[in-house]
Amino acid sequence: MSIFTGAGVAIVTPMNSDGSVNFEKLGELIDFQIENETDCIVICGTTGEASTLTHEEHLECIKFAVERTNKRVPVVAGTGSNCTETAVYLSTEAEKYGADGLLVVTPYYNKATQNGLVKHFTTIANAVNIPIILYNVPGRTGCNILPATVVKIAKEAKNVVAIKEATGNMSQVAELASLVKKNDLEFDIYSGNDEQIVPIMSLGGKGVISVLSNVAPKQTHDIVASYLAGDVKKSLDMQLEAIELINSLFMEVNPIPVKAALNIMGYEVGSLRAPLSEMEPQNQEKLKEAMKAYGLI
């Protein structure tokens, strides 16, 4: 029941000069991604500044992405919230708009217990019929879904079919992969960190939900595609070649650097919503150097 295999882009949300969403530019970015072999559009995630979009903007972005993509690749909509009721609302609306799947982050700030996480995710899953990808990023949320909890959720809610693993903890990913196999589950693991695509693929991962794809969609796609084709050396070489750029894209909190990078490339994606601020000038120079070394500019 995989939603996609390969590299899905955690796409940015472009802004106009007045701070409103630039839908014309978003359409251009979606086309650019698909033309360069991105395997899935992930709209309204962390990189898309979902936390500072109004509910109306959030849903409008999802609707727009579904319509613009027009079934060329799957669209996964970020619909998570620290409020279960809100997550259910966003998820049911995204399903109505035709999203192919949902990306649902762990509740942030509340710091739910493991039992609370089971209830949260099963409640959302039971409200929709489309597949759900759990999003585990404790560095942002303060909340970690443990492997045994993931398996429990997947058993109780059959449309919870995957996880975006962004703990950075390869031992935890290995434990999860082991439990998935032991329980004979059809459950996919995607890397949530661009520097860990190959390590997670080596544990049976299906690909990545990527920030890097915003600026290097073809290369990110090829890292996964090469691995799946059996050319592990090529995949590893491409992964290592991208490390300097990946590090530069995270030298300040995401999506500050990736929006700066897209602007440097001439895509004019605009600024960021407060409390995010523009990239520090000295860091922008380092980012430019990494982009030049990678051949983006």
pLDDT, one tens digit per residue, over 86-97 is 999 999 999 999
Q: What's the pLDDT at 2?
A: 82
Q: What is the mean pLDDT of the chain?
A: 97
Is residue 143 one of the residues assigned to a domain? yes
* Residue ranges making up the domain that contains 181: 6-232
Residue 164 annotated as catalytic: yes
Alpha helices for 183-274 (secondary structure H): 197-202, 217-228, 232-241, 243-248, 256-264
The answer to whether 117 and 149 are in contact (CB under 8 A) is: yes
For residue 167, tell me if it sits in a domain: yes
pTM: 0.97
**178 domain residue, yes or no:** yes
Catalytic one among 63, 152, 164, 259? 164
Nearest CA among 50, 38, 56 for reference residue 102: 50
Indicate which CATH number applies to the domain containing 157. Answer: 3.20.20.70
* Residue 174 maps to a domain: yes
Q: Is residue 187 domain-resident?
A: yes
- Residue 32 forms part of a structural domain: yes
135 given a catalytic annotation: yes
DSSP classification of residue 278? P
Band (pLDDT 50/70/90 cuts) for residue 79 is very high
**Size of the chain in residues:** 297
Which of 135, 227, 267, 294 is catalytic? The answer is: 135
154 is a domain residue: yes
For residue 85, being part of any structural domain is answered with yes
Q: Provide the number of structural domains found in the chain.
A: 1
